Amino acid sequence: MNRKLLIINDRDNVGVLLETAQRGDTCQYRETSIEILEPIGFAHKVALVDIPKQGNVVKYGENIGFALTDIKKGQWVHVHNMGCKRGKP
């Protein structure tokens, strides 16, 4: 099933799902179909491209954190695989 996705800026490498998605669902980013690799809840992030470990996570055109591990296109992006230095010394 094709799921709705919100992307604000061309720099974004994650999108925000506007519907809950299950493994095997898809979402469309430009001309690319992205297969969802695991269940992802409404309003959570999905990787639009592969993001290497320590690579920036970009949402709404802003760096919001970095990958703690390699993140595959279609994978859920959240606190289990993304770190953030904002507000930390």
Architecture of domain 2-83: Roll (2.30)
Percent of the chain surpassing pLDDT 70 = 99
pLDDT band per the 50, 70, 90 thresholds, residue 2: very high
- Give the C-alpha separation, 6 to 34, whole Å: 13
pTM above 0.85, yes or no: yes
Closest CA to 56 of 85, 80, 28, 24: 85
Residue 57's identity, in one-letter code, is V
Question: Residue 14: what are its φ and ψ, rounded to 5°?
Answer: -130, 150
Q: How confident is the model at residue 63, as a pLDDT? A: 95
Mean per-residue pLDDT, 11-23: 97
